[in-house]
Amino acid sequence: MVAGEAVARSAPDGTTLLVSLNSVLAQAPVLLKKLLIDPDKDLLPVAAIGVGPVVGVVNKDYPVKTLQDIIALSKKKPVNVGNYAVGSGWQIMLNQLIKETGAELNVVNYKGTGAMLLDLYAGHIDLGAGSLAGMAGGLEKGAVRPVLIAIGSRSSKLPGVPTWVDAGFKGPAYEDLAEMNLLMAPAGTPQNIVDSLSQLVSASITESVRVKAVRDMLGAEDIPLIGLDLKKFIGRSWPTYRKLSKEMGLSVE
């Protein structure tokens, strides 16, 4: 929000921009008691760039293979689930899963993926989720096993691992809480500048070796969203984040 305020108050000439996670801007009006800016009015979306899949994994010794196995087992013994950040899409999805299935999930909140992974590797928690980049080491060493693509689409790096929809769970909580990096400009930035920046972002995916390397590490296989596609994405994602966050009474203060 501090960075967002600096961008929002800067000259709308395309030289001062903000990169922020979609969820941060979507949830700010709900999670924060005092807003420095109004993300809806003070910032102008330029492009959205995928962060790759957020994958749900279990400890290597946990006796399940599928999400359905986890739900069934939880009704015999509560499943300890790591959450990498209060208010994450993962936490909201888990809450919806509990409501729909009666699963007994004990959600443990962490400040970041690192601490959560240490407990997951040690078997102190049973299930967790994080970016493919963050999970790569554990997956390669066999310390954890993937059971679900919690956020994002199916990935060639995770063959056979289902999304929520693949596993039979549909609805806003499972389908609308996509995570992306948003490139934002100050409100009032001329459309020709927005269009030029959007095209540069799109071109970087095919022309920049460095961008390709980072996207490969993240497992990001989708194309950037610009123009009408970006508008539709925000119009679907932001209201869902806000509605479900408010219903859960989430707050970061």
Residue finishing a domain among 149, 175, 201: 175
Rounded to 10 degrees, what is the CA torsion of 108, 214, 154, 222?
Answer: 120
**Is the pLDDT reported for residue 27 higher than 90?**
yes
169 and 62 within one domain: yes
Mean pLDDT across the stretch 16-32?
94
> What CATH number has the domain bearing residue 161?
3.40.190.10
**Rounded Cα distance, 36 and 33, in Å:** 10
**Is the pLDDT reported for residue 243 higher than 90?**
yes
Domain of 149, in residue numbers: 54-175
**Rounded Cα distance, 13 and 59, in Å:** 49
User: Is there a contact between 60 and 91 (Cβ–Cβ < 8 Å)?
Assistant: no
58 and 47 within one domain: no
pLDDT range class, residue 253, cuts 50, 70, 90: low
Go through 157-187 and write b for each residue having 16 or more CB atoms within 10 A of its CB, e for each that does not: bbeebbbbeebebeebbbebbbbbebbbbbe
In a domain, 253, yes or no: no
Question: Which of 114-123, 181-190, 218-227 is predicted most confidently?
Answer: 181-190
Q: Which amino acid, one-letter code, is at 207?
A: E
pLDDT range class, residue 217, cuts 50, 70, 90: confident
- High-pLDDT (> 90) share of the chain, %: 79
Q: Count the domains in the chain.
A: 2
Query: Would you call 212 exposed, middle or buried from its count of C-beta atoms within 10 A (0-12, 13-18, 19+)?
Result: middle
User: Is there a contact between 231 and 45 (Cβ–Cβ < 8 Å)?
Assistant: yes
Closest alpha carbon to 233 in 176, 195, 194: 176
- Reduced to 3 states, what is the DSSP secondary structure of residue 128? strand
167 and 183 within one domain: no
